[in-house]
Structure formats: C-alpha cells, structure tokens
Amino acid sequence: MTVALRAYRSLTAPLEPLVSAVLRDRARRGKEDPARLTERLGYASRPRPEGPLVWLHGASVGESLSHLPLVERLARERPDVSVLVTSGTVTSAELLAKRLPDGVIHQYAPVDASGVADRFLDHWRPTVVGFVESELWPNLILGAKARGARLALISARLSESSQRNWALFPQAARELLGAFDLVLPQDADAARRLSALGARDDGRLNLKYAGEPLPADPGALERLRAEIGDRPVVLAASTHPGEEDVVLKAFKALKQRPDRPLLVIVPRHPVRGAEIVGAARELGYETRRRAAQEPPAAEAQVYVADTLGELGLWFRLARTALVGGGLVPDVGGHNPLEPARLDCPFVSGPYVDNWAAVFRDFEAARALKTVAGVVSLGDAWADDLDAPKDARARAARARGLADSRADVADRAYAALSGLLPA
C-alpha cells in the first residue's frame, strides 16, 4: 500500500465518533434516516445470505436508478447469487424500496472510515463488487480486494478536477484503480482521464441508458387528466434551490395565455414542498400542493407535486418540461432519458457535468434545447406550446436515441457475469 493510502487509512481510523455525531446531526435535518443510522457505520441490519454475493453501489438517485436494470437482470438470471445494493441518500433508499426486485437487499452505504469499512466487509463478504460511476472509496475498495472480491468500475466517469486531484497522488491512484478487474468508462473522455491515472480500459458502457420508462399509476394518471382537462402542463422536474425562482419568473410570460397552462413543479427533494408553495404564492400565483392532497383545481396556476416516485405521471402529462439540476452550478444536471423515454419534449440548463456524455449525444441528435435563465426558459416553453409539431419531432429524436442504446443493461450483465463463479 502506498504511503498516501496508508496515511488515509490511519487518519480515518479514529473518525468513527465524529462521523457518528455528524450523522445524528444530518438525521435531525432530514438528510439521514434516523432509524438506519447504524448502517452508515457498517452495522448490517440484515443477515448475509449463504453463497456468492454481488454488491452494487450507486451514490444517489441517478446512479441507483441507472443500475436497476442490471440488478433486475442479476436477480432473474442468477438466482444462486444474492444481490446487495447500497446507496447514500434518503431519497434513493425510498425509491429503491419501491423498485428493487424481491430478495434484493438494500443497505445504506457505509462511510469510508477504516473501522466502518472493515465491519461492513467482514459481514457481507462480497464475491463481486460493482461501483457505479465515480465513487472511489479507498478503504472499501482495497478492503474488498484484500478479502478476495473481484471489483468492477461500471459506467465510470471522472471529471477534469477529480483527475487533477488524483494526479497529485499518482501512485495511490494507480494502486486504487489497479484494484479493479473490470473498468467500463462512460465515454472517451472518461476513458482518457482514467487511463492517465493507471486504470485499465475494457470498453465503453454508459448505464444511464439502461433505465426503463418511469412507472405511473394508471388510476392516478386518469384522475389527473380529468382534473387538469385540456390545459397544457408545463413541467419543472427534479428542481433544486435557486431553480424554482427562475421557473416561477419564466412562467409569468405564459400565465396569461388563453390556453391557461398549468405549471407543475416537482422538487428533487419533496421535503421542500412547503417552501416552494410559499415562494409561488409570494409571486402572486394561485398554488396547490399535492402532498396536502389538494387537486390541481381549475383556478390553480402552479401545482407543487412534492411526492416521491410520481415523476412518470408528470412526464406523461406534460407538453414541455425542464429537466432540473442544470440551471444552477454544483448540482450537475439530471436524467434527460426520463422525458425522452416518455416522448416528452424537454429543455435543460447548461450545468450538466454529471450527465455530460448523455447531453452531448442529445445535442448531436438535435433532441434538446439548452436554456440559461428566465427569458430563454420562458421562450423555450412558449415555443413548444406554440409549435407542438416541432416539439413532438424533437421528442421523437430523443426517444430514438434512448431506444438505440437500450441494450446497455445486457452488456453490463455480460461483463459483470464474467467476474462471477460459473
């Protein structure tokens, strides 16, 4: 082990009491599940099944949803293998609880303190470990390798800034990345950056293309169609702080239209619903809230859909949508494949680093519009409402691109299966 990695392991060893205090504070603020804090400290809440076990980790909602088709394929094709899925956010855990196949185990990801990592690995003893995208935790990775697990870095990405940071510790980066038996970068840029740090390159694979269309409850969909009537729905999906202000101001250009559009805001974190309702009412909008079981009544101009797992409803209802997370820096954008798979025309802001490869594909296919602020967002929405044929053509190009990469889960399964015992 290199000096840098030994130092990292030593420095993280005494951190468990501090980490525990930080987690309790986060739980008080709604950012951790208080009933499952011990999982974050490596204490398992479930027994380990007998036999081989595959552990797949995705940090948050986007990564977790992207590897769901791979999880489903593993559960279906290899009933002799147990599957453990970890994630790091409350929202991801809630979504996975609804969508994981029967028998698949979910745990919160342990923090990468050395004692915590050892406790987690000693309990679960994974046969194969798959890290999705950009999570590189030295204690967990090297600890799993030392215990005989085979490791895969799937749909790998690495930003320029992360590459520069790792390049300050070249031997540590080489040892850490060298622990992986399989590395599948998302695109050529990720492959170049990872290879420069010493990673192997086993070909391109972007799991973001693997997802299924978001589900929607048929009864709820029909009720909403009846309640909304023929009013066009303008959707702001998966929004973050700072974005709702842009959205609400952009919608002012539309609210006087004779077709009376309804703005639906779906915050990425539903706990922010009351805050967004307050902001909308301060700007003079007649506003209703889904979490309060209020329907989108005829007089409503804004509807805050602060519920979890219902985004599929709104993409099916919307005439045009904003994919949130890209209007403000430091979020990194959200999944454009979600509206694409449901034939919904969409726009996005420019800050989409976490989805850069996918957005480049969509731009090349002329399948999206990029907006930068209040005026351009309002104009883009108005254009889609005024020229529905053009909007539908853009949506069709997006759907075609999404469908053309639909085999990615099969390729991921084939690659990961090569690491499993026959």
Q: What are the extents of the domains in the chain?
A: 3-206+407-417, 218-404
Over range 187-196, report the average pLDDT. 95
Which residues, 6 or more positions from 248, have their beta carbon under 8 angstroms from its beta carbon?
A: 263, 279, 280, 283, 285, 302
Summary mean pLDDT of the chain: 96
Q: What is the pLDDT of residue 135?
A: 81
Check whether domain 218-404 has CATH 3.40.1190.20, yes or no: no
Q: How many CB atoms lie within 10 A of CB 261?
A: 20
pLDDT of residue 406 exceeding 90: no
Per annotation, catalytic residue among 32, 39, 63, 243: 63
pLDDT score recorded for residue 242? 97
- 14, with CB counted inside 10 A (0-12, 13-18, 19+), is exposed
**Is 78 in contact with 103 (CB distance < 8 Å)?**
no
Q: DSSP per residue over 115-167, as a string?
A: HHHHHHHHHH--SEEEEETT---HHHHHHHHHTT-EEEEEEE---HHHHHHHH
Tens digit of each residue's pLDDT (9 = 90 or more) over 21-65:
999 999 999 899 999 999 999 999 999 999 999 999 998 888 888
User: Residue 361's pLDDT is what?
Assistant: 94
pTM: 0.81
Tens of pLDDT, residues 335-386? 999 999 999 999 999 999 989 889 999 999 999 999 999 999 999 999 999 9
Report which secondary-structure segment, H or E, holds 282: helix 273-282
**N residues, the chain:** 422
DSSP3 helix / strand / coil % (the chain, rounded to 5) = 50, 15, 35
The whole-number pLDDT of residue 60 equals: 83
CA–CA distances in Å: residue 349 to residues 189, 295, 331: 21, 29, 11
CATH code matching the domain that covers 3-206+407-417, chosen among 3.30.565.10, 3.40.50.970, 3.40.50.11720, 3.10.20.30: 3.40.50.11720
Q: How confident is the model at residue 134 (pLDDT cuts 50, 70, 90)?
A: confident
- Give the full edge-to-edge strand order of the sheet including 105-108: 105-108, 82-87, 53-57, 128-132, 150-156, 182-185
Could you tell me the pLDDT band of residue 289, with boundaries at 50, 70 and 90?
A: very high
Judge whether 3-206+407-417 and 218-404 match in fold. yes
63 is catalytic: yes
Report the sign of the C-alpha dihedral through residues 94, 98, 100, 102, in that order: positive
**Which of 345, 337, 347, 354 lies closest to 392, judged by CA?**
345
Q: Which of 236, 356, 250, 221 is nearest to 306 (CA)?
A: 236
Q: CA 206, CA 231: separation in Å to the nearest integer? A: 37
DSSP 8-state assignment for residue 302? E
Residue 47 per-residue DSSP state: P
Please answer whether residues 156 and 183 qualify as being in contact, where contact means their C-beta atoms are separated by less than 8 angstroms.
Answer: yes
φ, ψ of residue 127 in degrees (nearest 5): -80, -45
Distance CA 235, CA 233 (A): 6
Q: Most distant CA pair in the chain: distance in Å? A: 68
Cα–Cα nearest to 84, from 111, 98, 64, 62? 64
